[in-house]
Homo-oligomer: A and B are copies of this chain.
Amino acid sequence: MNKVMSMKEAIETHVNDGAFLYIGGYIARPPFSAIHEIVRQKKRDLTVVRSNAADGFDMLIGAGCVKCFIATFLSLGFYGLARCYRRSIESGIPHKIELEEYSNLSLPMMLMAGALGMPFLPTKDMVGTDLLNVKSFMGDNKYKMIESPFDGSPTLLVPALRPEVGIIHVQQADENGNAQMWGIGGDCQWGANASDKVIISCERIVSRDVIGLDPSRTIVPDFKVVAVVEEPFGAHPGYTPGFYDVDFVFGSHYQQASNTVEGFEAFLDEWVFGTADRIEYIQRYIEKYGYGQFKNLEAGFGFSPPVSYEY
């Protein structure tokens, strides 16, 4: 079943206002093209989740798409402060998002539990800290402290998460959605598989035969996938191993623009609302920053040793 479509169609069809979304990436492979399209289509009241969020989540919050955020961290790291996030929390601009906070151990585990069909699981972090003293929209189901029925020791249980839609960017997928990834994983595999349905954004669509030459690289099976979008450069200004580097210049540009509401809105007007799709976005990038810089982002040559699955 061919599920190939445009990002516009994928977001229109599968992301409703009020949806609960897992959005992958960890500097590596953020599905930025999908994030731009969510902003472009002015989706509202979303609940979003990911461990260690960065500029993409800051943008969704600044654009007013987010109602609830299941979070561990939001920073623009090397670039500087996450201004939209801070404006939302500190000053209610454009509105104050609701925040449920976990950690980079517990949250990936909650996604893993969701992916594996477990109702909850025990984690060893967060205890003794104020992370357990603040609760938001998840209320008393944010966590439970129990005495272990095995040895009586205090044990923290955190609930499984099952987002409605998972959106990830990977190196390659086939038309049915079998998605292959290599390099730094973050919580992509578990987040996508925790979700009821998955939108795959990828650098290239390959044939089912190519997938079958290295099936151990597949992280999401086709039956979970509702849309496959071929979106080269789709993680920019993040990176995709084997395809292109992080764009530090553009990352800093976003951070600086987002220091003010006006700057942030001008950025969206130029790069999101002012472009119809990823092709126009790249066109604008090349016009503004030059083909030289675009070309410089391209990954150097690398080559893994082929392996055989034969018998």
Contact = CB atoms under 8 A, between A and B. Distances in A.
Interface of A: 109, 116-124, 141, 144, 146, 148-151, 153, 155, 157, 159, 171, 182-183, 185, 210, 213-214, 216-217, 239, 241-242, 244-246, 299-311
A187 to B, nearest CB: 14
Contacts of A149: 144, 146, 157
Nearest to A242: B308
A239 B310 CA distance: 10
Given A146-B149, A214-B304, 10 more contacts: A149-B157, A182-B307, A213-B304, A241-B308, A241-B311, A242-B309, A299-B308, A301-B308, A302-B307, A304-B308
Contacts of A148: 119-120
Contact of A122 (B121, B155, B299, B301): B121
A22 to B, nearest CB: 20
19 contacts: A109-B116, A118-B124, A119-B150, A119-B151, A119-B155, A120-B150, A144-B149, A150-B157, A182-B309, A185-B216, A214-B304, A217-B307, A242-B309, A242-B310, A244-B311, A300-B310, A301-B308, A302-B308, A304-B307
A310 B241 contact: yes
A112 to B, nearest CB: 9
Given A120-B150, A155-B119, A182-B216, A309 B304 contact: yes
Nearest to A146: B149
A155 B120 CA distance: 10
A295 to B, nearest CB: 14
A301 B304 CA distance: 18
A213 B123 contact: no
A306 B308 contact: no
Contacts of A214: 182, 304-305
A141 B150 CA distance: 6
Contacts of A309: 182-183, 241-242, 302, 304
Minimum-distance CB pairs A-B, first 10: A302-B308, A302-B310, A242-B308, A214-B304, A144-B149, A245-B311, A300-B310, A182-B216, A299-B310, A303-B306
B123 A122 contact: no
A183 B218 CA distance: 11
A214 to B, nearest CB: 4
A188 to B, nearest CB: 12
Contacts of A146: 149
A305 B212 CA distance: 10
A108 to B, nearest CB: 10
Nearest to A216: B182
A117 B149 CA distance: 17
